[in-house]
Structure 1
Amino acid sequence: MADSQTNFAWATLLDVDPRQPGRLPLHERLAQALRAAIRSGRLATGAAVPPSRALAEELDCSRWVVTEAYGKLLAEGYLSARVGSATRVSWSPEVTSPRRQDAAGPTRTTVRYDLGPGLPDLRAFPRRRWSEAVHAVTGSAVRYDLGPPGRSGHPTLRRTVAEYLRRSRGADTVPGSVTVCAGITDGLFRTARALRAEGIVEVAVEDPGWARLRAAVTSAGLRVRPVPVDTDGLRVDVLSRHPTVRAVVVGAAHQFPTGAMLSPQRRAELVRWARSVDGYVIEDDYDSEFRYDRRPIGVVQGMDPRRVFLLGSVSKTLSPALGLGWLVAPSPLTRALREANVVAAPPPVLDQLALATFIDRGWYDTHLRAARRRFRTRRDLLVRELAAQLPAGRVAGTAAGLHILLHLPDGTDTARVVADAAAAGLRLADLDTYRSGRAGSPALVIGYGNVGDAEIAPAVALLRSTLRDAG
């Protein structure tokens, strides 16, 4: 900041009116206004004040007024000047005032080791390739691309996503059935609104499962019905016992947080159930690209595209900061889906075109192959460290995704463990926070997407220490 030649305080509001006479001379009033702006933080330490000639023109006063005010603040230590450089703010408060502390809120503990679920390796974001894609589409976009984005997404990305899902996920889709959205939660909210328009009032969700998916369903005005999950995925037999349920959200390829894969038999049962109740399956395909025991399996949507919605995004493969996802809908509901949330804006067009370019040039596939190798190695390292340092724990859900489950001995206070770990700078999650009912057997959800390989051993050592202190 201190060396930046562009950090000028041009737009700072100064309470000075040169045309209004006062008891103090104008240069004194300007000095007071600048001093107040500095002390309040509106002019931050290191910010460059405008050249005297430019500020004089802005305030419609003589340049002498500004140089006098600057000279006074230089003498008082609020400003510093250096030959050949801008005049900059040099004053900073030694102690933050109580009012500013309260406004900032409580101090948050720094995360030393991120073993929380839900994030990819943010260090490995393909910055160069992504910037090349952005540069390419910025130069090639026609003027029509720079207008308001279409409600269903740009045709180029819809075509690219349709082709990608057909070849990589076994989906039965065409560009017309794809809607570009901001991510899986956005897509689920739109789907729930469309289903409500179809007369559906209750949607089943997996238990345990993502709380934000339940929130997306309820915020659309539908009731939520939790359905248990076992080692073969969603219990379709339990689902069938609820006659008011005509839609279900399911993670078929990799259920969060248990890591279960919906078995072939359950997949067939689920499609038969949807047909029998004139209902729908909403398939959450959030991190299906990361499977380590076999090639990624196809989607349920390919079994019956008239009964299955398919939700996907790049939040777990590239970065959630991109805010790019897609929704494949049954053809009869595509129109209702796009009208379900008319105020929701699709992602920016240039970002959509950049993702299409990133996929079309093969960079997405290359990135995924490298990520799978990296995550497989990191998962193996984490499992070895847990076995060596926490032999009383039992690891599960290792076949896919970016997290595992660590089952702990009965009586372990996992809520306290997570809180104590967070205070020590270790981020992880309690399985109970994803359960909709009462607490179950103690287990931790440990992610390995956004942690370095060299950080795993000390992170597990910190977890071991936290568990020991928690008894």
Structure 2
Amino acid sequence: MPKSWVNLTAGLGADLHLDLTGPGGRRAVLARALRDAVRSGRLAPGTRLPPYRSLAADLGIARNTVADAYAELVAEGWLSARQGSGTRVAHRAEPLAPTRAPAPPVPAARPTHTLLQGQPDAASFPRTAWLAAARRALTAAPHEAFGPGDPRGRPELRRALADYLARTRGVRTDPDRIVICSGFAHALRLLFPAVLPDPLAVESYGLAFHRALLATAGVRTHPLAIDEHGACTGELTAHDDVGAALLTPAHQFPTGVPLHPDRRAEAVNWARATGGYLIEDDYDGEFRYDRRPVGALQGLDPERVLHIGSVSKSLSPALRLGWMVLPARLVDAVLAVKGEREAWAGVTDQLTLAEFLTHGAYDRHIRRMRQRYRRRRDRLIEAVAAHAPQLAVTGIAAGLHAVVEFPGDSAAAEEDSALRAARWQGLALDGLASYRHPEATMPPRHGLVVGHATPSESAFPAALAALCRALPAAP
């Protein structure tokens, strides 16, 4: 590096010598030099470090190099970063005598901003409408509703769901084939390993949590490649031992593409020919912004497709309410696993959701949130275009998240660098690589999975600004 003296006037009122020699790249050398300065006491606890742009200018190196070094030291506990107060030497990073072992890392501070996927705007929960629905539902509820719960779920909710799903998602069913659960993860626990066969075909990109849940149940998973048309369902015929496939046809998670009509038919034909089943995770099914939502896969064959949905994204994950629309032959098997009493979904919430659906409050809430999330997605696209025009926001105009994809040979390194920079900004964010199935054979893709729905309206601008500061600079 061309320089080793740094002007820290903003923090110390004096210059500081950093030893920028030794093995490793520029980021590693700089991080080691700052760490040594803290350890020796030359940088005292609470000392404010210069902005990474200033330090980069002083040292004659790239800004991202300094940002990455800061992020590494924040993660290790040597530094702390707070919005509005800059980056400082952590108070727990005490100077150490040369003969003492290094102090253990200090846990990273809670993020200031979050753009994690899978969470709706909690501040937008329709409290007034939900309370009104709860009052009406409890007033009209029969006395037996407050006795032991039916594992199928309350009949009021199953009837309301049958009507709603037929009207909005094209689902073909009746209330007797709907089983209430607490969400998609609960549905997987009910289905595997007792009801559906092992192994299971899954999409090459998906939630690691779901893969871990299946692995805990002893279920093997075979990944299907993903491209611009969704899951490559033609690969199902290559797995003779697979008896079921888990798909996100409305809006593939996390890449954001719908399953092509030809592949929908291909998947259903495979299930019919083999006697297998398709599990439809109706993720983000209601939130399509550029056109009417694509109908559910279940409508093509109700005896071969299990349709699973929940209110986790549309209302709140705190409600713990979901549903399984099952082939007739699987209902009793699922109920046998669930048990004789409802132990998961509370009766009052079930009655309230039934009222919420029946009287149109759910539709009104979905329309309102669809407009809000669409505006946020548009703002995200505009911000990325302005700050990093070499990047693209991929996937259809739908859902509660978007993917900012990194192209080229350096995509993996850029994803790592952007995530480190985001941590330094106090921004919680996921990288696309973390969603890839460990046995996937398709070429890896890299980028950022941005949950634009998560912050409140007031917090979204600051979170978006932090994201833009973490993006790779335009060439």
TM-score (normalizing by structure 1) = 0.73
Q: Give me the whole-angstrom Cα distance separating, in 2, the residues matched to 1:445 and 1:397.
A: 11
Tell me: CA distance 1:453–1:136, structure 2 relative to 1, closer, same or farther (3 Å). closer
How far apart are 1:373 and its partner, in Å?
1.0
CA distance in 1, matches of 2:396, 2:301: 29
Q: Determine the C-alpha separation between the residues in 1 that align with 2:138 and 2:106.
A: 42
Q: Any idea what SS the aligned residue of 1:445 has?
A: strand
- 2: CA distance between counterparts of 1:211 and 1:354? 32
For 2:415, the aligned partner's letter is T
| Secondary structure at the counterpart of residue 339 of structure 1 | helix
The alpha-carbon deviation at position 450 of structure 1 amounts to 1.6
1:28-56 alpha-carbon deviations (Å, 9 max, x no partner) = xxxxxxxxxxxxxxxxxxxxxxxxxxxxx
Which deviations, in whole Å up to 9, do the C-alpha atoms of 1:141-176 show, x marking residues without a partner?
332111121111111111111111111110011000
Provide the rounded CA distance (Å) in 1 between the counterparts of 2:362 and 2:461: 30
Picking from 438, 445, 450, the partner of 1:441 is 445
Match of 1:311 among 308, 312, 315: 308
CA distance in 2, matches of 1:216, 1:274: 24
TM alignment of 1:83-98, pairs within 5 A: none
- Does the aligned pair in 2 maintain the 1:193–1:337 contact within 8 Å? no
- In the alignment, which residue of structure 1 is the partner of 2:383? 385
What do residues 294-336 of structure 1 show as CA deviations (whole Å, max 9, x unaligned)? 1011111111011000000000000000000000110011100
1:183 aligns with 2:183: yes
The answer to whether the Cα contact below 8 Å between 2:418 and 2:472 also exists between their aligned partners in 1 is: no
CA positional deviation for 1:356: 0.3
1:241 to 227, 234, 238: 238
Count of aligned pairs between the two proteins: 366
The residue type equivalent to 1:155 in the other structure is P
> Taking structure 2 as the reference length, what is the TM-score of the superposition?
0.73
* 8 A contact 2:244–2:278 mirrored in 1: yes
Aligned to 1:154: 154
- Structure 2: runs of 5 or more not aligned: 1-104
Tell which structure's C-alpha radius of gyration is larger: 1
Aligned residue for 2:329, secondary structure, equals: helix
After superposition, residues 66-105 of structure 1 pair within 5 angstroms as: none
Q: In structure 1, how many angstroms separate the alpha carbons of the residues matched to 2:106 and 2:274? A: 50
How much identity, in percent, do the aligned residues show? 41
Distance in 2, Cα, partners of 1:299 & 1:311: 10
State the match for 1:113 in structure 2: 113
When structure 1 is superposed on structure 2, of 401-410 and 164-173 the one drifting more is 401-410
The partner residue of 2:358 within 354, 360, 376 is: 360
Partner Cα distance (1:303, 1:172) in 2? 9
Match runs of 1:296-335 below 5 Å: 296-335=293-332
Q: Post-superposition shift, 1:398? A: 3.8
C-alpha separation in 2, matches of 1:465 and 1:379: 18
**2:378 corresponds to 1:374:** no
The whole-number CA distance in structure 1 between the counterparts of 2:363 and 2:235 is 38
CA RMSD of aligned residues (A): 2.4
1:453 positional shift: 5.0
Match of 1:201 in 2: 198
1:452 to partner: Cα distance = 4.2
Q: Distance in 2 between matches of 1:208 and 1:108?
A: 28
SS in 2 for 1:240: helix
Q: Aligned equivalents of 2:169 and 2:472: distance in 1?
A: 44
CA distance in 1, matches of 2:380, 2:273: 44
Q: What SS does the corresponding residue of 1:340 show, helix, strand or coil?
A: helix
Distance 1:453 1:146, change over 3 A: closer
For residue 353 of structure 2, give the secondary structure of its aligned residue in structure 1: helix
The answer on 1:216 being equivalent to 2:213 is yes
Mapped to 2, the partners of 1:420 and 1:166 lie a distance apart of 46
Q: Within 2, Cα distance between the matches of 1:157 and 1:206?
A: 31
Equivalent residues of 2:114, 2:429 under 8 A apart: yes
Q: Give the corresponding residue for 2:127.
A: 127
Cα contact 1:115–1:446 (8 A) shared by 2: yes
Query: Residue 222 of structure 2 aligns to which amino acid in structure 1?
Result: R
Residues 378 and 453, structure 1, Cα contact 8 Å, conserved in 2: no
- CA distance in structure 2 between the partners assigned to 1:468 and 1:165 by the alignment: 42
Deviations, residues 248-293 of structure 1 (Å, cap 9, x unaligned): 0000101100001011111110100001111000000021100012
The alignment status of 1:269 with 2:266, answered yes or no, reads yes
* Superposition deviation, residue 422 in structure 1: 2.8
2:56 corresponding residue in structure 1: none
Taking a change above 3 Å as real, the CA distance of residues 141 and 107 of structure 1, as seen in their structure-2 partners, is farther
How much has 1:424 moved relative to structure 2? 2.5
Q: Distance in 2 between matches of 1:214 and 1:398?
A: 25
Shift of the 193–344 alpha-carbon distance from structure 1 to 2, 3 Å rule, reads farther
Contact 1:189 1:219 in 2 (8 A): no
Q: Which consecutive unaligned segments of at least 5 residues does structure 1 have? A: 1-104
- Provide the C-alpha distance between the structure 2 equivalents of 1:188 and 1:106, rounded to a whole number of angstroms: 37
Contact 2:383 2:468 in 1 (8 A): no
Letter in 2 for 1:236: T
User: For residue 425 of structure 1, what is the aligned residue in structure 2?
Assistant: 426
Change beyond 3 A, Cα 1:415–1:338: farther
Alignment of 1:11-30 (within 5 A): none
Report if the CA contact (8 A) 1:184-1:286 is conserved.
no
Change (3 A) 1:112 1:353: same
Q: Verify the 8 A CA contact 2:247 2:279 in the aligned structure 1.
A: yes
CA gap 1:194/1:331 in 2 versus in 1, 3 angstroms: farther
SS of match in other structure, 2:193: helix
1:395-410 correspondence runs (5 A): 395-409=393-407, 410=409
Q: Which amino acid aligns with 1:426?
A: L
**SS at the partner of 1:120?**
coil
> In the aligned structure 2, how far is the partner of 1:441 from the partner of 1:295?
29
Query: Does structure 1 retain, via aligned residues, the 8 Å contact 2:160–2:358?
Result: yes
Distance 1:262 1:136, change over 3 A: same
- 1:112 Cα shift? 2.8
